[in-house]
Amino acid sequence: MALSKIDVVNMLTGEVPNANVATLGVAKGGTGLTSGTTNQFLKFTGSTTLASAADNTGKLGQIITAATTTATTVSSNTYADTNITASITPSATNSKILIFITDNCQVVHNSSNNDNGMAFRIKRTIGGSDTTLDTDDQPYQGFYQSASAGENFRQHISLHSVDSSHNTTNAITYTHQIASYRTSGGALGASAHDNNRGNITLIEVLA
Amino acid sequence: MIVTEIDKLCKAIHILKPNAQFTIRGNVVNEETFNNIEWITGADAIGSAVFTKTCPHSEITYAKILEEMDKL
């Protein structure tokens, strides 16, 4: 049937059903999307595709902090846990965890050696499985003092590390570990000595 | 006697057992807290201390520790 009449008024004021309108792709200046997610942003997922995505680039996800005033005294060159420990549950497997530790450490020399030192290590525990993040190569590398036998020295130390290999959204526990260089004759190394404070702060940085 | 000086306690332990390796958490103030000392018996797969709270050294008892500390 031949078109005999165009209803111009209704054409200008009416609505074209969505089903009759094609989605305009990125290559034509559109988004290629039919919907988005509240409070999210558009992100290129390919050269000509966009998608809704959270604004999480480099954003801090969470901060966990813990402190202790319970001393840990060791007379061993085998690493032992201190009470400086904290747990975090990452929101994504590819986020980074920044670890900051401060500790008040003390070494006591024995009566036969003119020096003593301490070594430090950060232990990571996921689901009961332990791994080492950062460790000193020598048992005196973290804190060393050479002086007369029988003396003791105290030092405030700071450690930091980045965990970019946890690959989990399960809870992760980070623990500061210490070891003493000299292990006899009363030699010792201490964390949070004399019940001074030790701190640990964990920060999740989203990818 | 109340044990409050960790330095003396460590010396006393090493007098009784020169190569004893251990970890002390917090303060040792009586026999009960003395019994919480972690005696290191070895290392696990990543080199962390493996310990027992049962003292493996017959030379070391709370009474002997107090005697040695009195001499220091």
Based on the domain organization, do A75 and A175 belong to the same domain? yes
Note whether A35 and A134 are same-domain residues.
no
Contact across the interface for A75 and B43, Cβ inside 8 Å: no
Residue A10 resides in a domain: no
pLDDT band at B25 (very low <50, low <70, confident <90, very high): very high
Residue B69: inside a domain, yes or no? no
User: Is residue B31 in some structural domain?
Assistant: yes
List, in order, residues 6 or more apart from A46 with CB less than 8 Å away. none
A11 part of a folded domain: no
A130 vs B18: CB contact, 8 Å cut-off? no
Q: Which of A6, A35, A53 is the last residue of a domain?
A: A53
Domain end residue (candidates: A53, A71, A97): A53
User: Both A137 and A158 in a single domain?
Assistant: yes
From the list A70, A132, A185, the residue facing B26 with the nearest CB is A70
Count: domains in chain B: 1
Q: Which two tokens stand for residue A79?
A: 């690493």
A24 and A105 both lie in a single domain: no
Residue B33 lies in a domain: yes
User: Is the domain of A37 the same as that of A129?
Assistant: no
Q: What integer pLDDT is reported at residue B43 of this predicted model?
A: 96
Which parts of chain A sit beneath pLDDT 50? Answer: none
Asked if pLDDT for residue B48 goes beyond 60, the answer is yes
What's residue A147's pLDDT?
84
Give the closest residue to A190 by CA, choosing from A178, A198, A201, A182: A178
Decide if A106 touches B, using CB distance below 8 A: no
Domain extent, residue B16, equals 6-59
**Does residue A94 share a domain with residue A28?**
no
Q: Are residues A90 and A134 in the same domain?
A: yes
The whole-angstrom distance between A100's CA and the closest CA on chain B is 21
Tell me, what's the ipTM? 0.88
pLDDT of residue A75: 95
Whether A186 maps to a domain, the answer reads yes
Residue of A nearest to B15 (CA): A185
Say how many domains are in chain A: 2
Task: For B4-55, give the secondary structure using H, E and C.
Answer: CCHHHHHHHHHHHCCCCCEEEECCCCCHHHHCCCEEEEEECCCCEEEEECCC
Same domain, A81 and A148: yes
Question: If you search the block for the tokens 């010792």, which residue do you land on?
Answer: A188
Give the whole-angstrom CA distance, residue A107 versus residue A180. 8
Give the residue from B29, B32, B52, B23 showing the smallest Cα distance to A72. Answer: B23
Averaged over B3-28, what is the pLDDT?
90
Determine, yes or no, domain membership for B66: no
Supply the CATH number for residue A92's domain: 2.60.120
Single out the residue of B72, B16, B67, B61 nearest to residue A75, CA to CA: B16
Shared domain for A47 and A85, answered yes or no, is no
Q: Chain B partners of A116 at a C-beta cutoff of 8 Å?
A: none
pLDDT the model gives residue A1: 61
Interface test with A, best of B13, B21, B28, B34 (most A CBs within 10 A): B21
How distant is the Cα of B53 from the closest Cα of chain A, in angstroms? 14
The answer to the question of residue A14 being in a domain is no
Tell me: do A117 and A75 sit in the same domain: yes
**Interface contact A187, partner B, CB < 8 A:** yes
Q: What is the pLDDT of residue A56?
A: 64
In a domain, B64, yes or no: no
Do residue A24 and residue A67 come from a single domain?
Answer: no
Is A184's CB within 8 Å of B19's CB? yes
| Range(s) of the domain holding residue A42 | 19-53
Look at A80 and B26 and tell me if their CB atoms are within 8 Å: no
Of B68 and A15, more confident: B68
CB-based contact, B49 to chain A, within 8 Å: yes
Tell whether A105 and A49 lie within a shared domain.
Answer: no
Q: CA torsion angle for A132, A138, A144, A145 (degrees, to 10)?
A: 150
B13 vs A contacts (CB less than 8 Å)? 75
Please report how many Cα atoms fall inside a 13 Å half-sphere around the Cα of residue A86, on the Cβ side: 21
- C-alpha B18/C-alpha A206 separation (Å) is 50
